[in-house]
Structure 1
Amino acid sequence: MEASIVHSFFLIFAGAAVVATIALYTKQPMIIAYIALGVLFGPSALSLINEPQLMDEMSHIGIIFLLFLLGLDMQPSHLINMLKKASWIALLSSAAFAILGYCVAILCGYSSIESLIIGIAMMFSSTIVCIKLLPTTVLHHKHTGELVVGLLLLQDMIAIAVLLVLYSISGSDNNGMMQYIKPIVGLPLLVAGAFLFVKYILLKLITRFDRFHEYIFLVSIGWCLSMAVLAETAGLSAEMGAFIAGVALATSPISQYIATHLKPLRDFFLILFFFSIGASFNLDLLGLVIVPALILAIGSMLIKPVVFRFLLKGIKEDASTSWEVGFRLGQVSEFSLLIAYLAANIGLIGTEASHVIQATAILSFALSTYIVILNFPNPIAISDKLRRD
């Protein structure tokens, strides 16, 4: 197994270096290159990677670190205000996108339950793609960044509720109402426990040993992953636990030091994430799913900005900010992929419908990335004028 993992890592990162070089020379976004590499090396093409499930599990760590770093940059008071302000926008927009997905799926001949799942998968936007394409200055200090992050967090909460329902249908948890009570009780306890632990234990340890950079690095990773595991135990997602861990540390001056030094580790695992998306796609089904996936992906990119523009107008946001937020949130989510996998595993949808969701996610990631890098400030822009880190 060890040799196999080393061989897989060699293929992924040597291949990623090659495709990233080609992408930079041809002025293409590197995210798309990583997904394409996954398709090429995955079981459906050259079949050079034999452990796509292992890669998928490891890539999940990248999402956890991404949310932890995001939390480090969010002051709790700003976060609470934004969540209060944007909650009804997240609910109404999610309902609109679900209706879009359901109608398209019905028109393409899928069953009612499959169309419902496809509609649900359309409700969410990708935390990874959105945050990856937000410049650090916008993410930390600008109102646009606050709006995007607030809406993404609210969508993530809705996605967790959907996953809980799917898990209950699968019969994976036989504790009845307990699976619904756990996260409701667990969330406030987790938040309170995190802030108390940081205030009375973690910050005192960091202050005492702040001269040892290796110790700060180790404690940061341990804190992030501990909260991720605790959140899963409480019936929440690991990502939410990592985000809470970051927010609890955000008021400390050490938070920016931690954020800077964990970024390379985050990027390492995010390459695995985008690779695993491509590797898990079955190319044999491409002919069956490409038309509905294209309709859904293009429909998402066209309708989401319009919906967010209309809804954000209701809270007095200017047109420029509203359009930018809408285009940045135009793709579907990694949660959509998880919903597709789970619904297929429990027999709610067939393999074809599952791959419609997967293909829509890949296409929308690509379309959204191109639109953002060509029109808005971002770290990987083709134009020097728009490139912001």
Structure 2
Amino acid sequence: MAETSLFQSFFLIFSGAALLATLALYGRQPLLVAYIALGVLLGPSVLGVVNNVQLLADMSTIGIIFLLFLLGLDMQPQALLSVIRKATFVGIVSCAVFLGLGYGLGQLFGFTTVESWVIGMAMMFSSTIIGIKLLPTTVLHHKHLGELMVGLLLFQDFVAIACLMILLSGSTGQVDFAQLGISFAALPLLVLVAWVIVKYVLLPLFTRFDRFHEYIFLLALGWCMGVAELAEILGLSREIGAFIAGITMATSRISQYIALSLKPLRDFFLILFFFSIGAQFKLAMVPEIAVPALITAAAVLAVKPLVFRLLLGNQSEQKVLAWDIGFRLGQISEFSLLIAFLATSQQLIGSGASHLIQATAILTFLVSSYIVVMNFPNPIAIKDELRRD
């Protein structure tokens, strides 16, 4: 089949997504279902009409970068430190439990020790995209629920960065602890440099040229991408760089205008992200990993809410609030997919383990989205009493 041009791919993705999203809304289904289903349908496993999937997947990661940049813009630095302190104990214990769960399941299904540890790593994290996108904006900004969720997700982001760096050093057969130490030492330096540049360069420019909206948009975009790339060079990740870029601008009066300007661009790339998840999944692997994936997904969906409920309950959180957070974080993460792809490229895991993680991610994305949309306040709720923007 001839190579599909980028424009043809965009036409198929966004026209198809508009059609399936319409059907999903009429059928009262989460839109994420439509995007992933479209990826499976148009990708190599079924029709094969979109064949530049890797390019689209690389582009779609920009959506995650924008998501974390906007998350940073919405958080005050003092609030962030307070939130992370509250979330650290829950984060450490929950990550340890989920790592053990994934390792045990990997051993149960006959994977190697290294593959089992990688599966365990993938189980540790919850989806930032689903957690934040299904959380009402008013709750995200002003409520204790939003603060706790953001704190837990940010703690998981730091753990995920450590896991990604461990995997990147895995091709040598040994963990490069020196590089790991350098990367984490670079984190406060990056925050300091970003803060200085914002205070003495960006804010004066915003103040002087605030009438030129196109320039404000361009400067914010360049800042986000620049700090993200600098973080990557320092051995962190583009995602954490984007968050630092956002939070160093959070106290400026122009931060909310920038956030509103970038949201449509973020949504554009997030549609690509969920499409690429479906498109990269090989249906031919289903017979081999169907039973392990179903059992693993069921274990994640059952254990994660319970663990968060118990841990948050021990911290004197209200029972209803603890269950709410547990179900909102009751899936594995887009970081889990990055771990699967990276571990495969480093030849640490085989195709079976990689597709087990991918299938578990898709299943938990879908089922946990249904649970939240049907039972908790969210912006796309089917019941009017649960819809909160």
User: TM-score under structure 1 normalisation?
Assistant: 0.97
Match of 1:137 in 2: 138
Counterparts of 1:346 and 1:246, CA distance in 2: 32
Letter in 2 for 1:194: A
Q: CA deviation at 1:3?
A: 6.8
Letter in 2 for 1:102: Y
Counterparts of 1:193 and 1:315, CA distance in 2: 36
Match of 1:345 in 2: 345
Counterparts of 2:113 and 2:190, CA distance in 1: 38
Matches within 5 A, 1:187-202: 187-202=187-202
Match of 1:104 in 2: 105
Counterparts of 1:68 and 1:131, CA distance in 2: 13
Task: Verify: 1:327 aligned to 2:331, yes or no.
Answer: no
Q: What per-residue deviation string (whole Å, max 9, x for no partner) do you get for residues 155-187 of structure 1?
A: 11111111111111124999x555223312210
Task: Verify: 1:311 aligned to 2:333, yes or no.
Answer: no
Counterparts of 1:266 and 1:173, CA distance in 2: 37
Q: CA deviation at 1:312?
A: 1.2
Matches within 5 A, 1:283-298: 283-298=283-298
Which deviates the most, 301-310 or 263-272? Answer: 301-310
Counterparts of 2:189 and 2:244, CA distance in 1: 11
Match of 1:302 in 2: 302
Match of 2:376 in 1: 376
Task: Verify: 1:164 aligned to 2:168, yes or no.
Answer: no
Counterparts of 2:177 and 2:270, CA distance in 1: 35
Across the two proteins, how many residue pairs are aligned to each other?
388
Give the secondary-structure state (helix, strand or coil) at the position aligned to 1:349. Answer: coil
Contact in 1 for aligned 2:184/2:236 (Cα 8 Å): no
Letter in 2 for 1:44: S
Give the secondary-structure state (helix, strand or coil) at the position aligned to 2:384. Answer: coil
Match of 1:268 in 2: 268
Matches within 5 A, 1:60-75: 60-75=61-76
Q: CA deviation at 1:109?
A: 2.4
Q: CA deviation at 1:388?
A: 1.3
Contact in 2 for aligned 1:130/1:328 (Cα 8 Å): yes
Counterparts of 1:13 and 1:304, CA distance in 2: 33
Match of 1:230 in 2: 230
Counterparts of 1:106 and 1:3, CA distance in 2: 41
Q: CA deviation at 1:2?
A: 10
Counterparts of 2:199 and 2:174, CA distance in 1: 35
User: TM-score under structure 2 normalisation?
Assistant: 0.97
Contact in 2 for aligned 1:300/1:331 (Cα 8 Å): yes
Match of 2:245 in 1: 245
Task: Verify: 1:154 aligned to 2:155, yes or no.
Answer: yes
Contact in 1 for aligned 2:170/2:348 (Cα 8 Å): no
Which deviates the most, 1-10 or 109-118? Answer: 1-10
Counterparts of 2:185 and 2:353, CA distance in 1: 35
Counterparts of 2:121 and 2:225, CA distance in 1: 29
Counterparts of 1:342 and 1:65, CA distance in 2: 21
The RMSD of aligned alpha carbons is 1.7
Letter in 1 for 2:343: A
Match of 2:218 in 1: 218
Match of 2:28 in 1: 27
Q: CA deviation at 1:295?
A: 1.3
Q: What per-residue deviation string (whole Å, max 9, x for no partner) do you get for residues 21-51 of structure 1?
A: 1101111111111000000111111111111
Q: What per-residue deviation string (whole Å, max 9, x for no partner) do you get for residues 201-256 of structure 1?
A: 11111011111111111111111111101110111110101101111111112111
Match of 1:182 in 2: 182
Counterparts of 1:261 and 1:198, CA distance in 2: 19
Counterparts of 1:361 and 1:264, CA distance in 2: 25
Contact in 2 for aligned 1:65/1:242 (Cα 8 Å): yes
Q: Alpha carbons of 1:262 and 1:304: their partners in 2 closer, same or farther (altered >3 Å)?
A: same
Contact in 2 for aligned 1:167/1:173 (Cα 8 Å): no
Match of 1:59 in 2: 60
Contact in 1 for aligned 2:3/2:51 (Cα 8 Å): no
Match of 1:13 in 2: 14
Which deviates the most, 337-346 or 216-225? Answer: 337-346
Counterparts of 2:105 and 2:183, CA distance in 1: 33
Counterparts of 1:37 and 1:3, CA distance in 2: 16
Give the secondary-structure state (helix, strand or coil) at the position aligned to 2:281. Answer: coil
Counterparts of 1:141 and 1:47, CA distance in 2: 45
Q: CA deviation at 1:357?
A: 0.3
Identity of aligned residues (%): 61
Counterparts of 2:200 and 2:313, CA distance in 1: 43
Match of 2:37 in 1: 36
Unaligned 5+ segments in structure 2 are none
Contact in 1 for aligned 2:3/2:52 (Cα 8 Å): no
Contact in 2 for aligned 1:160/1:237 (Cα 8 Å): yes
Match of 2:80 in 1: 79
Letter in 2 for 1:240: I
Counterparts of 2:107 and 2:169, CA distance in 1: 25
Q: CA deviation at 1:346?
A: 2.2
Q: What per-residue deviation string (whole Å, max 9, x for no partner) do you get for residues 46-91 of structure 1?
A: 1111111100110000000000001111010010011111112111
Letter in 2 for 1:55: L
Counterparts of 2:122 and 2:248, CA distance in 1: 30
Which deviates the most, 125-134 or 341-350? Answer: 341-350
Q: CA deviation at 1:100?
A: 1.3
Counterparts of 1:152 and 1:170, CA distance in 2: 28
Give the secondary-structure state (helix, strand or coil) at the position aligned to 2:330. Answer: coil
Give the secondary-structure state (helix, strand or coil) at the position aligned to 1:316. Answer: coil
Which deviates the most, 292-301 or 55-64? Answer: 292-301
Counterparts of 2:381 and 2:130, CA distance in 1: 14
Counterparts of 2:250 and 2:265, CA distance in 1: 19
Letter in 2 for 1:254: I
